[in-house]
């Protein structure tokens, strides 16, 4: 990808895209006549440590080594693809799979054990088929659940089989020029590449384009390369102090990162129950430095909220929420995720020098109660009849396959021996359309599936039924299959009418 230059300062984002089948490797100072790669000369013979000398091993385990070991399980590599546009008006055409593919890569950090991952928005902008590789080599499909283009941040979700290791969030409020920092990332596709440097400057403002201006950046001489976007900048204690975002084109050792204190404010909103579950609790929290420690203080309690009814007060120091020690406002939102409205979560606050335990609940947002209930009902029926659990995704998540699509349904779970399982639909697929006869429907919500099932069961088909044709996205390609219903499945579909 050619450098993206800013006005008067060549700055490019540290993400890498290439046309499928073609890539380039930049080797600096390593070329040899005849195409070989050479070292600097014959290996010198040096005396090593005596076998079993544990003191020697301890002395090599520096603070840098320990910080890297602590953070590595929390760093992921991200790969994705884009597709060129097609002139065909019907998105489920063969032409869609014939378009040129453009691949990309980036890095992300795990911020919750249930599979929430933070990266740069430009890493996943208008891409499809996002895959995340964990530090243990496991590859999982991912979906974008929140995006903030102005601040260049995106929140991804994967469905891990075991809990992941979230990164420890530090602070950027006390950073020092000259302080040691470390980057870990998917540089040029080399996963978990580690680089060390110092903080070169603070408070940098960088203009990438008329639409993208970065402010208050951390400048570092630690190597940030294409593929490092969205990855961590950590301090010597292994705490996240920045998200790598850009490099100076044509320069050496001039990279930039978003300061973590700015990121935390945005992330707390992106992962909030209001954004992800259409519920609210009413706590407004902020991070302050009190008594030589970072504390989370309630700056406000919303009037009429569940938090106000539970007895929370402005000025309370939040110590614990559920099973989480609260170190940032993000931890409050993490504790409330996946909690059904009305279910109490124990919260411990420090009030006037003593600990007080209060139960916190969430409630549906007042304007969306009916919509949330209808969506839950549709999801339950689709699970019962077809064995599918899905989550809606927006047009931006499928536009790379076809810009004509308005969205789709990301498959989270498939019940064994269900109609979906028998039709080879798998977790990670994105269901984008259904076809009955000559009629085509997009699947943007679960009730779209139920509508098509209604149309099918009204046809009173017999044993020779040719099924329902479905279209889905799998590994960056649009695929077609047939969903066949047994007589029992048809009766279940008909019974809901």
- Interaxial angle between packed helices 369-386 and 446-458, expressed in degrees from 0 to 180 and rounded to the nearest 10: 50
User: Choosing from 112, 125, 152, 489, which is the catalytic residue?
Assistant: 152
Cα–Cα distance between 460 and 455 in angstroms, integer?
Answer: 10
Cα–Cα distance between 371 and 316 in angstroms, integer?
Answer: 34
**C-alpha torsion sign, points 303, 304, 305, 308:** positive
Cα–Cα distance between 476 and 429 in angstroms, integer?
Answer: 10
User: Choosing from 80, 103, 195, 229, which is the catalytic residue?
Assistant: 229
User: Choosing from 122, 195, 316, 402, which is the catalytic residue?
Assistant: 122
152 has catalytic annotation: yes
Contact 446, 372 (CB under 8 A): no
List residues bridging with 280 in a β-sheet. Answer: 363
Cα–Cα distance between 389 and 360 in angstroms, integer?
Answer: 28
Cα–Cα distance between 64 and 186 in angstroms, integer?
Answer: 19
- The half-sphere exposure of 397 on its side-chain side, counting CA atoms within 13 A, is 31
Q: Is 331 exposed, middle or buried (0-12, 13-18, 19+ CB in 10 A)?
A: buried
Contact 183, 247 (CB under 8 A): no
Contact 405, 395 (CB under 8 A): yes
Active site residues: 122, 152, 229
């Amino acid at each position: 990808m050619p450098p993206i230059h800013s006005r008067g300062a060549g700055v490019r984002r540290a993400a890498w895209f290439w046309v499928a089948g073609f890539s380039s490797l930049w080797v600096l100072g390593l070329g040899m006549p005849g195409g070989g790669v050479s070292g600097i000369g014959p290996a010198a013979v040096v005396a090593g440590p005596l076998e079993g000398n544990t003191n020697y091993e301890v002395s090599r385990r520096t603070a840098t080594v320990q910080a890297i070991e602590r953070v590595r399980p929390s760093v992921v590599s991200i790969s994705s693809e884009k597709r060129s546009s097609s002139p065909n008006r019907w998105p489920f055409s063969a032409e869609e799979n014939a378009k040129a593919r453009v691949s990309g890569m980036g890095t992300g950090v795990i911020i919750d054990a249930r599979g929430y991952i933070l990266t740069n928005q430009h890493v996943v902008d208008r891409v499809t088929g996002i895959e995340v590789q964990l530090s243990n080599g496991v590859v999982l499909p991912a979906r974008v659940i929140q995006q903030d283009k102005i601040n260049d941040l995106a929140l991804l979700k994967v469905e891990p089989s075991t809990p992941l290791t979230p990164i420890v969030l530090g602070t950027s409020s006390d950073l020092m020029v000259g302080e040691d920092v470390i980057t870990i990332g998917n540089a040029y596709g080399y996963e978990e590449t580690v680089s060390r440097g110092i903080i070169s400057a603070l408070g940098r403002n960088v203009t990438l384009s008329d639409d993208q201006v970065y402010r208050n950046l951390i400048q570092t001489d630690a190597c940030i390369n294409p593929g490092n976007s969205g990855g961590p900048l950590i301090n010597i204690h292994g705490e996240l102090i920045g998200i790598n975002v850009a490099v100076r084109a044509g320069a050496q050792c001039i990279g930039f990162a978003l300061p973590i204190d700015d990121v935390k404010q945005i992330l707390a909103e992106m992962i909030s129950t209001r954004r992800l579950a259409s519920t609210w609790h009413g706590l407004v929290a902020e991070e302050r430095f009190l008594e030589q420690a970072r504390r989370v203080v309630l700056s406000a309690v919303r009037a009429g909220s569940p938090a106000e009814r539970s007895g929370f007060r402005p000025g309370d120091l939040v110590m614990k929420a559920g099973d989480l020690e609260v170190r940032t406002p993000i931890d409050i939102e993490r504790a409330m995720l996946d909690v059904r409205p009305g279910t109490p979560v124990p919260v411990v606050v420090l009030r006037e020098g003593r600990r007080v335990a209060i139960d916190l609940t969430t409630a549906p947002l007042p304007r969306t109660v009916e919509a949330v209930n209808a969506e839950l009902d549709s999801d339950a029926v689709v699970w019962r009849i077809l064995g599918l659990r899905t989550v809606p995704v927006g047009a931006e998540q499928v536009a790379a396959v076809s810009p004509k699509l308005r969205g789709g349904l990301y498959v989270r779970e498939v019940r064994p021996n269900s109609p979906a399982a028998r039709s080879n639909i798998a977790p990670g697929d994105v269901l984008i359309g259904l076809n009955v006869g000559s009629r085509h429907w997009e699947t943007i919500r679960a009730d779209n599936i139920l509508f098509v099932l209604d149309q099918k069961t009204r046809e009173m088909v017999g044993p020779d039924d040719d099924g329902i044709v479905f279209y889905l996205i799998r590994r960056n390609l649009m695929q077609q299959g047939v969903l066949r219903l047994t007589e029992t499945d048809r009766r279940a579909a008909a019974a809901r009418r």
